[in-house]
Chain A
Amino acid sequence: MEKNQVKQFFQSHYRSRRSSRGSATALPAHHMLWLLLAIAMAIVPHWRNLPGWFWPVAALIFLWRGYSLGKPLHRWQVLLVTTAVLAAITVSAQSGLGRSLGITILASMAMLKTLETRTRRDAWVLIALGFFLLMTRFLYGQDLILLPWLLLTTLMLAYALLLTQGNATGSAWFIPRLFKQTARYLMLALPVGLIFFLIFPRLSSPIWGSPELFGQGKTGLGNSMRPGSIAELFLDDSPAMRVNFHQPPPASDLLYWRGPVLEEFDGTTWRAHDYILPRTASSPAQDHKTITYDIELEPHGHNFLPMLDVPVQAPKGAFLMPDWHVQQDHPVTRLKHYRGQSQLANPHSDHLTPSMRRRLLSLPHGLNPRTRGMMQRWRGQTPDTRILINRILQWFHQENFIYTFTPPPLQGDSVDQFLFETRAGFCEHYASAFTVMMRFAGVPARVVTGYQGGLNNRDYWLVRQSDAHAWSEVWLAGHGWLRVDPTTAVAPSRVASGAQSWLAAGRNWYDYGWVRGLRLSLDTWRYRWNRWIRNYNTQAQKNLLRSLGLDSANPATFAWLIAVTLLAGGVGVLLFLAWTRTSPKQHPAEKIFTALQKQLTRHGLPRTRHEGPSTYLLRAARRWPGLTGQIQAFRRLYEKHRYAPELRHLSEENATWKHLQSKARALQLAIKKEPPTPADGPE
C-alpha cells in the first residue's frame, strides 16, 4: 500500500484522543455534589473578609449548581455572570482596597468555576483552588477553633479529589470505602507533614508585603473612647491576653492593665495625645516591689502593649511614653510575646510642663454648664483635692447611679445628661464624667483605658475583651498621679471580683455559667496551641535543632534533614501501603488451604495453573505415600467446607473450620518430617 493510502486509512479510523482518555467525559452527579460541598466549605471561613454582595450570589450559584448537578452553564452565560461579578468586585473594591480584595477575587474565581465545571480537569483545578482558599484563611487568623474546620475541609477536599480523579468504582452518593481510604492517606501524610513543619527552614522576617496586610480586623481597645465603646467589648469573651507572673500575683483588684491613655476630650470622644518622643529612662522607685510577668498578647491591630499599672521599663523593641503607656512602632498583627516589669503604685512625682497642664485641664468650650457650676461650687467648699475626690465618689455612691452595659444614649451635653438625667452608665461613662468633673475643678486629670482583673486559669491568667475597663488618673501636686476608679463607687464588685460577677442576668441568650466554663477550658487548649504550634518560629526551631545536636546555621543541615525525612517517610508509607493492601476476601477454608499450599510449594510441589485443589492434593498424596490417609482426610473435609457447608454438620467431629485448620497443621508438621518420593518428573 502506498504511504498516502496508509494515511487515509488511519484518518478514517481516527478517534478523538480526549474521548479515549476519559478526560472529557462529564463528571457524574454525585461527584459534582461532593465537589461543590468541599469548595463551599473552603469558602465559608472567609465570611468576615468577603463583601456583603458575595453571599447571596454565592448561595444562589451553589444552590443552582447543586440543583442542576449534571448541567453546567453555557459559555456565554458564564461570561455574563463573570462580568456581573467582576463589576461587583470593582465597585466593592473602591470602598476598601487591600487585603480582602485578593480573597474576594479568589473566592469569586472558585465560585464562577463551579458554573462551568463539567470534566475531571475542571474538578482538579477547582480542588487546587479550594486548598489555596483554605490556606489564605490562616493569613487572617490562626485561632484554635479554625483547626477542626481545617481538618474537616481538608478531608472533604481530599475526598472530592480521590472521587473525581481516581478510578474507584461505585455510583452510590456516598462511598464509605473511599472515604476511609482518603482518611487513611491523610493520616499517613501527617508524620511527614509534621516533621517538615518542625524542620523546614523558616524566614525570620517577611521578604515582601507588610504583615498588617493580613492583620486581624478584631475589635478591641483603641486610641479613642466614646460612650459605649467599652460596653461593646463587654459582650466579647474572646481572649485579649494571657499573663504568667514570676512572683505570686497581686490581688485581683490591683490588676489594672494599662492600655492607651486618653488626654484629649471633644465633648463626646476621648482621644490619646500623640506624643512624639518616648519617656527618657527612669529608675524604678526603691520602696515599691517590682513585679515581673510574661504576656502573650492576641493581635489587636494597634500599637500599644498593655502593661500592669505603672511600667518600670518598656519591653525590648517598645517604648515607654510620657503618659506611662507602652507602644511599639508597628501594629500588633500576630501573637505577641513580651516580658513586662511594673510597680503597683505611682512612685514618681512627674514634672508637669505648662503645655501638659494646659492640655490636661482643657475642656470643650461651653459644654456641660450644670456640671461646671456644681464643680465650681464644690471646689469652693472643699479646697483639698483628696477630699474633693472622696466627695465626688461619695456622691456617685449615694445618688441613684446605676452600673449597666446597656446605658441610654447621650447627646449634646453628654456629661450633664449622664450626671443629672440618665444616671446609668458603664465604666467609660463614670471615668469620663469623673475626669471632666476634676478638670472643671481645676485638677489635671485624664482617662486611662485598659483591662481590669483577669481570671486565674491554673497555669496562667486569662484577660478577656470583656475585662476591658476605663478609669481616671488625677494629678496631685507634690504627690504625682493618683489612680481613681469611679466605677468602684457604683459597683464595687466589678473590680473586686471580675467583670461578670455583678451580673444577675446573662448578657445574651447563650450567657450561662457552663458556657463560660466551656469557653474557659477551650482557652486552656488555645493557650497550649499558641504556645506550641502558633508561636513556633525560627528561634524555637533553632532551639529544637540544638537540642538534637544539630547546627541550624548550616544550610546543609536542613538539606540533610529534608532528604532524610522524605526518604524515611517514603519508605514508611510504602511499607505500610504495601502491607495493608486490601486483598479480596478469602473463604476461611481457602485461607487454610493457601497456607498448606505454600508449605507444599516449599517442599518442591508447586500447584500448576490448571490444577484445582482436589487434583493438587491427590498429586501431593502420590508424592508423600506415607501421608496419603491424612491428605485424603483433609481433602474430603476441605471440599465439604468449601462446597457443601450445609453438610459439614453431619459429621459432628468436623463441624467447624477449626477442625480443618488442626488437620492442616498436623499435615504441615508431618510433611516436614516425612521424606517425599523422588520427584515424579514434570507434570
Chain B
Amino acid sequence: MNASSIQGTNPGMNDAILQVEHLSMKFGGLVAIGDLSFTARRGEITALIGPNGAGKTTVFNCITGFYKPSEGMITLNRNDGSSFLLERLPNHEIPARAKVARTFQNIRLFSGMTLLENLLVAQHNKLMKASGYTILGLFGFSSYRKASAESVELAKHWLEKADLVDRADDPAGDLPYGAQRRLEIARAMCTGPELLCLDEPAAGLNPKESAALNELLIDIKKTSGASILLIEHDMSVVMQISDHVVVLEYGRKISDGSPQSVRTDPRVIAAYLGVDDEEVESVLTEVGDEDVIEQLDTGPDAAHGPGTSSSYLAGPVTDTIGHSEGERVTVSKGASKAAQVDAKAKNAPRKPSERATAKPAAKTPTAKPRGGRK
C-alpha cells in the first residue's frame, strides 16, 4: 500500500536517489522501525523528523550500513545510472561505492588531527588508488604527488565553503562546537557523495550558526549536486531549507510531503504536541503554524546531544552508535498520538470550526487519514 502511494507521488524512478521500501528494524522483540517506505528525490533536501525515539537515527544507521535492517530494501540510484542495494553492501563500501556520506549526532571528528588532515582522510579511497595502494607512493611516484596536491585543493575548497580555512592547521578538537559541525559536513563532502546524510546538523548551534548552516546546506544542494537527507529537531531549519519532509513516530511514517503540508497535518501536530484525546480538537484549533511547534519543541535531549568523546572502554561499535535502550521502543496500545487522531477523525465527522482554521494544504494525499492502524 505504501509503496504504491510513493510511486504515485514520484513521476519517475530515476528521479529518486534513495528509495526506502518496507524497511523494518527489530532489536530482539523491540520494533524500532516498522514497515517504513519513503523516497528522497535527487537534488532535493529531504528532512526526516519526528519526536525523540521515533527511530530517525536507526533509519540513518540502516541507510549507511551501521545496522543491517531486519526487513526491507534500500535502493540508491547514482547519477551514472547504477543502482545499489544498500542493505547488501558492507559498511565501508556504502560511502566508497554508493557515494553516501554521513555525519553523526555526537560529532565524530579526528580530534587530534588538523582540519586539513581530517579532510584528507575523507579522500582516502581516491588517494589510495593514486598511491598505487601505498607501493607507488612509498617510492615517491609523481602520480601520487599530483593526486595529493589535488586532494589538498579539494580540501581547501571545502574549508572555504565551511568558513574554516583560517584554522586549517589547527587540531579539529580545538574548534568551537559550531565549527566542528561545519567541519564534519565539509569532511563528508570531501568523499564526493551523491547523497549526504546529516544527523541533526543544527543541534547545539546558536541562531547565527544555524543560519550559516542553512546557507551552507543550500549552497551544497545548488553547487555540488549532492542530495541531502537530514534529521533535524530545529523546525526553523527544516521549514526553511527542506523540499520534502518525512515524519516518523514510533518507527512508522505518519506524514510525508512538502513542509507546508506536513506543518498543518493534524497527525504531525498531535505527535509533536502529545495531546490527549479530549484535547485534540482544542489544540488543533489553536495551532497550525510553526511558532507553536517551535515553542513546544524542546530540542535535542541529553541522549541525542553531543556526547563526550568516546572513552577507552567504549565497548563494541554497535553500542556507541545511535541510541541506547531508550530508543528501542515498541508501540504500546494507544501511545501513538497520530493513531489517536486517525481514530478520532474516523469516528467523528470534522467540525466546521476546525475546517476553517486548518489550512488547505492539509489535504495532501499523504496526510489523508489511513485506516488499518493499531
Chain A complexes with chain B: no
| Chain A residues within 8 Å of B, Cβ to Cβ | none
B contact residues vs A (CB 8 Å cutoff): none
